[in-house]
Amino acid sequence: MKLTARHTVRAAYVGYLTQAITINFAPLLFITFENTYDISLGKISLLIAISFLTQLSFDMLGVKFSDKVNPRLTVVIAHLCAVAGMTGFAWLPEVLPSPYLGLVLSVILAAIGGGIVEVLVSPIVEACPTEEKSSAMSLLHSFYSWGLAGVVLLSTLFFALVGIEHWRILSCLWAIIPAVGALAFCFVPIYDLSHLVRDDGEEKSHSLLRSGIFWVFFIMMFCAGAAEQAMSQWASTFAESGLGVSKAMGDLLGPFLFAILMGLARIGYAFSGGRIKLHSMIVASAVLCIFCFLLTALSPIPLVALIGCALCGLAVGILWPGTYSLASQKISFGGVKMFAYLALAGDIGCLVGPTAAGWIAEAFGNDLKVSFLLATVFPVLILLMAYLGTRLPKNSK
């Protein structure tokens, strides 16, 4: 069978499922880690920072070495790192002198895989000879949403039916998906990524860091990551504290519904066939995001506030992939390095958004509503950057 660009795109879908697994599986087991290995919750909470800092490190390496790496070999190694990290949860804490060291190594390996996937898979898809690039990018990123929803739902079902004490088996089962991704990327065609730099005479006189339009998209990407994670990381806690439901139900009402609606937004735009103008979609999404944060923060009815949490997934869905696509359209000299910079901006937002929300909530007596109210600054900034993006010419300094 002759493999084509369609098979490359499908392998990329597996890559984004892999990223969702590596980021979201371990947090479901934090309390289990605390009880099993007698590790303080404070040290376990550091695993989140270690994961995102590892991804940030590989984003920066992507910026420096994006033009020098073999994309096929690198993306295969990324999936194998994810396999090593996910299976490592099952045995590294048992064989190393410190169980915590085993957890840290597993988180780092998984995050290396997720970080490299984030830097390389989007430009690999962008380089494929397909039509409607923005639709393809939106569909690609929807698989992160489906992966997040699947991790929460299927893990919750596994714990309920098989027992949470068998979590090591589930960790190894989740490693099957990145293993499939590694195998797929060994064979699918990888198209020349240098084609992402279009020779129109501009790239010689410009650099990304001297480009005004690039910084517009950098800030948009930062705000997209911050808005998305500020809500998704705290949605479960808010559901539990606001409605008094169990953790399992809080996970399903919070991050699960958020992920489903985020995925529906992305797949809905993907199948619109480009009939909706991408810039208009981003503006509408930012306005809806402001409404959702205000609804969650100001509603006196907990159920209505929870609806605001879920609808925020619909609002942020198009912001991340849409920014990638707009940047690719407006900056002809960006190449893979631009995608690496934008991934770095998004991951910084993913780290800053939920961290700032936690600090703000603690400062106001553990009141997450104050955090959500102040988080409206992120979609407001996206609106401002979207306006500037229409005023700055292509490739502008």
Domains of the chain (ranges plus CATH)?
Answer: 1-194 (1.20.1250.20), 197-397 (1.20.1250.20)
Predicted structure pTM score:
0.81
Find out whether 269 and 144 touch, Cβ atoms under 8 Å: no
pLDDT for 178: 97
pLDDT for 283: 94
Task: Please provide residue 267's backbone torsions phi and psi, each rounded to the nearest 5 degrees.
Answer: -75, -30
pLDDT for 194: 66
pLDDT for 186: 95
H or E stretch including 313?
helix 302-316
pLDDT for 209: 76
Task: Please provide residue 68's backbone torsions phi and psi, each rounded to the nearest 5 degrees.
Answer: -110, -15
pLDDT for 66: 65
Q: How many CA atoms lie within 13 A of 377 on its CB side?
A: 13
Centre a 10 Å sphere on the Cβ of residue 70 and count the other Cβ atoms it contains.
10
Find out whether 250 and 237 touch, Cβ atoms under 8 Å: yes
pLDDT for 397: 53
Find out whether 168 and 40 touch, Cβ atoms under 8 Å: no
**Distance (Å, rounded) from C-alpha 247 to C-alpha 285?**
29
- In order along its 397 residues, the chain shows pLDDT tens digits of 688 889 999 999 999 999 999 988 888 887 788 888 988 767 876 787 788 889 888 878 877 776 678 889 999 999 999 999 999 999 999 999 899 999 999 999 999 999 899 888 988 988 888 777 778 888 888 999 899 899 988 998 998 899 989 999 999 999 999 999 999 999 999 987 665 555 444 444 347 777 788 899 999 999 999 999 888 877 777 776 666 667 667 667 777 888 899 999 988 888 876 677 888 999 999 999 999 999 989 988 877 888 888 899 999 999 988 898 888 888 877 777 888 889 889 988 988 888 888 888 878 887 888 989 999 999 999 999 998 877 766 555 5
pLDDT for 200: 47
Find out whether 310 and 127 touch, Cβ atoms under 8 Å: no
pLDDT for 203: 46
